[in-house]
Amino acid sequence: MEQITALVQIKGIRDGLLATFIDAPWEDQSVALLAQIDERQAFFQGARLAMDVGPQVLKVNDLVELRDRLSERNVSLWAVISESPTTEQTSQLLGLATRISKPRPEEHKQSADAISDESALFVNKTLRSGTRIEYPGNIVVVGDVNPGAEIIADGNVIVWGRVRGVIHAGAKGDRSAYICALDLSANQLRIADEVSASLKPQKDPRPEIASINGEGRLQAELWHTG
């Protein structure tokens, strides 16, 4: 048992507790975490827990199960930090935070270097209300972006579908970023620090591209082929 509990380290941070895992299969890691909590129930009562799972790839079922088990122990899971994009997406789907207030500077540098113009996060489904996708590069969505969904990309955003939610391209200040969609009737678009309030929904939607024009204003225009 001692061996297994050593797989997880728990320490206090400003926003509650942070559990950091040593590389191992997820089953062992989650057992280790629950064992630590059961050992010191009084300490963990009502705690807010963040987890740093490292490169672990977690599916929705994994996180849901752990979250339910934690909530039975009166511990609320609010954030999951991971290097794996799959795990990040999973946590975002479940409405968990993927960043905590204390930034991890060495990793941020790494990820900034890792982004090239060619890399993109590929999302192959409709984004429903309450979904928030953040990515430090380009984002491609095949599906709709429904009202109440948010996409935040440091690069460009391309949506093969209808946009009715909020899209922020060039979120770190890149004014050359653009947003393309088959139907761009978004209720808000942002590029860098420019904001355009709702575009009128069109009766006969056509593909459009939104960018910052020569006068420094965000505008959308029809996409012309050829």
Partner 1 sequence: MTAQVITVTSGKGGVGKTTAVANLATALAADGKKVICIDGDIGLRNLDVVMGLENRIVYDIVDVIEGRCKLKQAMIRDKHNPELYLIPAAQTRDKNAVSPSDMLRICKELRPEADFILIDSPAGIERGFRNAIAAADKVLVVTNPEVSAVRDADRVVGILEAEEKGNPLLILNRLNPILVKNNDMLSAEDVLDLLGIQLIGIVPEDESVIIGSNRGAPVVTEVKSRAGQAFRNIAKRLQGQDVPFMDLDQQSGLWNTIQKLTGRK
Could you say whether residue 146 binds partner 1 (CB under 8 A)? yes
Q: Yes or no: say if 140 and 122 are a contact pair by the CB < 8 Å rule.
A: yes
Per-residue H/E/C for 38-52 = HHCHHHHCCCEEEEE
| Rounded Cα–Cα distance for residues 183 and 163 (Å) | 6
State the minimum distance, in angstroms, from the CB of residue 209 to partner 1.
24
| Rounded Cα–Cα distance for residues 138 and 122 (Å) | 9
Nearer to partner 1, 164 or 168 (CB): 164
What x/- string results for residues 167 through 206 when contact with partner 1 is judged by CB under 8 A? ----------------------------------------
Nearest to 89 by CA among 131, 44, 52: 131
Nearer to partner 1, 72 or 113 (CB): 72
Instruction: State whether residue 185 is helix, strand or coil.
Output: coil
Could you say whether residue 48 binds partner 1 (CB under 8 A)? no
State the minimum distance, in angstroms, from the CB of residue 219 to partner 1.
26
State the minimum distance, in angstroms, from the CB of residue 93 to partner 1.
4
Stretch that binds partner 1, among 100-108, 128-136, 187-195, 205-213 (CB under 8 A): 128-136
Could you say whether residue 126 binds partner 1 (CB under 8 A)? yes
Beta bridge partners of 140: 122, 158
> Cα 139 from chain centroid?
11
Positions that interact with partner 1 (CB under 8 A)? 60-61, 64, 68, 71-72, 90, 93-95, 125-131, 144, 146-148, 164
